[in-house]
């Protein structure tokens, strides 16, 4: 899509200085971009860039007075940053949701329905008995298994696998390569040392406004459901085991893993590469520092934890400060021992 500087100035209510007919097709940082790019200058620290920028147009503050020649067209507004991000959002939404139609070949099984404004890419696969809402966008090589239910305004990127029986709400985005509903890791030990797999016949439920990262995996429940509540955001390469429950608006960073049947509370912040034992509960609003290991339930709301096994984050850092000095501390203790020995001999 292409807009003139004039059209953009109208949308954001700005005044133009320079060539109003310049064509803009991209948004860029002021230090990057080319003649078709629109940039912004908000922080005075970056002012130097405006005299050398290759961007075709720059949004600036109403009170901005150039100190030397500026080649780019300028659009003057009250708050350049807010205007720019509003444009960005608008542009992104338009691009994202305008995708429509069915590419050939793609596959849809028996008794499956999909609502209006859908996009089904070539090589996308929908199984039997699926119900998909309106405005669902399915990218290439996405698999949707049998008996899956999906709400409205859902984006399923390339190569996502949504296994049978999964239930997905509205306004959900699933990044490329994620797996929703693989079998839980459940095996019963046998007398001969081997393991027999326990059938995993439950499913996965994703609430509304859930975002799932690339190559993240969420296992189906053994029985019942693995539940990801409304507003949960999972980063890339996260592992959610069977029968786990993640509470509303909890955010989990990349490569963290939650073991089976654990319940994470609402509004928690889980750092990258954090691990959880199975069958424990985490209170609401818990913050966990990256790489920590949570080995038992956390019952106090709002706790901040660090370490493996994790405890209070500030206490962990205090202990760790001493840990760094341990060789020195050991020498101190040895010296004390010697002093006491010599002192004892003096006393006797």
**Catalytic residue annotation:** 242
Task: Rank residues 17 and 131 by Cβ distance to a copy of itself and give the closer one.
Answer: 131
79 contacts a copy of itself (rule: CB under 8 A):
no
Dihedral (CA of 15, 16, 21, 25) sign? negative
89 contacts a copy of itself (rule: CB under 8 A):
yes
Integer angstrom CA distances of residue 228 from 300, 319, 334: 22, 35, 54
Of 275, 282, 288, 303, which lies in the binding site for a copy of itself, with binding defined by CB under 8 A?
A: 275
Of 83, 136, 227, 235, which lies in the binding site for a copy of itself, with binding defined by CB under 8 A?
A: 235
253 contacts a copy of itself (rule: CB under 8 A):
yes
Tell me how far the alpha carbon of residue 307 is from its chain's centroid: 23
| Under 8 Å between Cβ of 31 and 11 | no
257 contacts a copy of itself (rule: CB under 8 A):
yes
Length of the chain: 348
Nearest distance from C-beta of residue 207 to a copy of itself, angstroms: 11
Subset of 12-71 contacting a copy of itself (CB under 8 A): 27-29, 32
Of 48, 113, 299, 323, which lies in the binding site for a copy of itself, with binding defined by CB under 8 A?
A: 323
Nearest distance from C-beta of residue 202 to a copy of itself, angstroms: 9
Task: Rank residues 5 and 237 by Cβ distance to a copy of itself and give the closer one.
Answer: 237
Task: Rank residues 16 and 214 by Cβ distance to a copy of itself and give the closer one.
Answer: 214
| Under 8 Å between Cβ of 211 and 185 | no
Task: Rank residues 133 and 186 by Cβ distance to a copy of itself and give the closer one.
Answer: 186
DSSP line for 151-215: -SSEEE-TT-EE-TT-EE-SS-EE-TT-EEEEPP--EEE-TTS-EEEPP---EEEE-TT-EE-TT
Site map 104..133 versus a copy of itself, x via CB under 8 A: -x-x-------------xxx-x--------
Nearest distance from C-beta of residue 127 to a copy of itself, angstroms: 8
Residue 36 Rama label (left phi>0; alpha psi -120 to 50; beta): alpha
Nearest distance from C-beta of residue 228 to a copy of itself, angstroms: 14
Please state whether the peptide bond connecting residue 309 to the residue before it is cis, i.e. omega within 30 degrees of 0.
yes
Site map 147..186 versus a copy of itself, x via CB under 8 A: ----------xxx-x-x---------x-xxx-x--xx-x-
CA angle 78–80–81, rounded 5-degree value: 130
280 contacts a copy of itself (rule: CB under 8 A):
no
Q: Closest Cα partner for 66 from 117, 17, 4?
A: 17
Instruction: Name, in order, each residue with C-beta under 8 angstroms of 284's C-beta and a sequence gap of 6 or more.
Output: 247, 265, 266, 267, 268, 301, 302
Nearest distance from C-beta of residue 336 to a copy of itself, angstroms: 6
């Amino acid at each position: 899509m292409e807009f003139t500087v004039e059209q953009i100035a109208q949308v954001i209510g700005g005044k133009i200085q320079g060539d109003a007919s310049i064509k803009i097709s991209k948004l860029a940082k002021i230090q990057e971009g080319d003649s078709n790019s629109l940039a912004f200058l908000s922080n005075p620290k970056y002012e130097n860039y405006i005299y050398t920028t290759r961007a075709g147009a720059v949004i600036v503050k109403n009170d901005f007075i150039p100190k030397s020649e500026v080649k780019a067209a300028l659009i003057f507004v009250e708050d350049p940053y807010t205007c720019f991000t509003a444009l960005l959002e608008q542009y992104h939404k338009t691009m994202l949701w305008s995708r429509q139609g069915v590419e050939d070949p793609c596959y849809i099984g028996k008794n499956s329905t999909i609502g209006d404004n859908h996009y089904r890419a070539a090589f996308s696969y929908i199984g039997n008995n699926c119900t998909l809402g309106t405005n669902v966008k399915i990218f290439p090589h996405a698999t949707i298994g049998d008996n899956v239910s999906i709400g409205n305004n859902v984006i399923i990127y390339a190569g996502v696998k949504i296994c049978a029986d999964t239930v997905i709400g509205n306004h959900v985005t699933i990044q490329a390569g994620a797996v929703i509903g693989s079998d839980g890791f459940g095996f019963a030990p046998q007398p001969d040392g081997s393991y027999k797999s326990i059938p995993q016949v439950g499913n996965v439920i994703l609430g509304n406004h859930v975002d799932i990262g690339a190559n993240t995996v969420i296992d189906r429940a053994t029985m019942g459901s693995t539940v990801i509540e409304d507003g949960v955001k999972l980063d890339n390469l996260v592992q959610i085991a069977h029968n786990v429950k993640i509470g509303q608006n909890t955010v989990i960073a990349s490569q963290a893993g939650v073991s089976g049947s654990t319940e994470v509370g609402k509004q928690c912040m889980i750092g990258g590469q954090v691990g959880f034992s199975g069958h424990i509960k985490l209170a609401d609003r818990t913050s966990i520092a990256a790489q920590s290991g949570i080995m038992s339930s956390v019952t106090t709301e709002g706790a901040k934890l660090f370490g493996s096994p994790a405890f209070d984050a500030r206490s962990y850092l205090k202990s760790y400060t001493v840990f760094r000095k341990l060789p020195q501390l050991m020498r101190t203790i040895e010296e004390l021992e010697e002093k006491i020995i010599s002192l004892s001999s003096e006393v006797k």
